[in-house]
Amino acid sequence: MLVEIRGRSQITIPAEIVKNLGVKEGDKFEVIEKDGGIYLIPVVVYPKHEMARIARLIKDTETKKSRSGSKSYDDIDKMFKDMGINLDDVQN
């Protein structure tokens, strides 16, 4: 698909791509320039205190697992749910 750069270095992402990726107004993207191309990568931004909380939970889980040989996860959604994080409620 062909797009045109507008004033203030803006482009419009075609509706089909927006729909396919499920992105919406306010979503954030990492912008990378590489090998003559521009890449947009959708990202989720967490507050620093939440990342510290998640890191503590992971460390605690690893410590408990090494002591008891207990729980491991094959499903990241289940892991976050057990950590008390509902990914459906995450807002940017």
The structure's pTM equals 0.53
Residue 36 — very low, low, confident or very high, per pLDDT cuts 50/70/90?
Answer: very high
Q: What are the start-end ranges of the E strands in the chain?
A: 28-34, 37-43
Dihedrals phi, psi of 19, to nearest 5 degrees:
-65, -45
The more confident residue out of 73 and 49 is 49
pLDDT of residue 68: 66
Is pLDDT of 92 > 60? Answer: no
Segments making up each domain of the chain, as ranges: 7-43, 48-89
Is pLDDT of 27 > 60? Answer: yes
**CATH fold for domain 7-43:** Pemi-like Protein 1; Chain: D (2.10.260)
Contact 65, 71 (CB under 8 A): yes
pLDDT of residue 46: 85
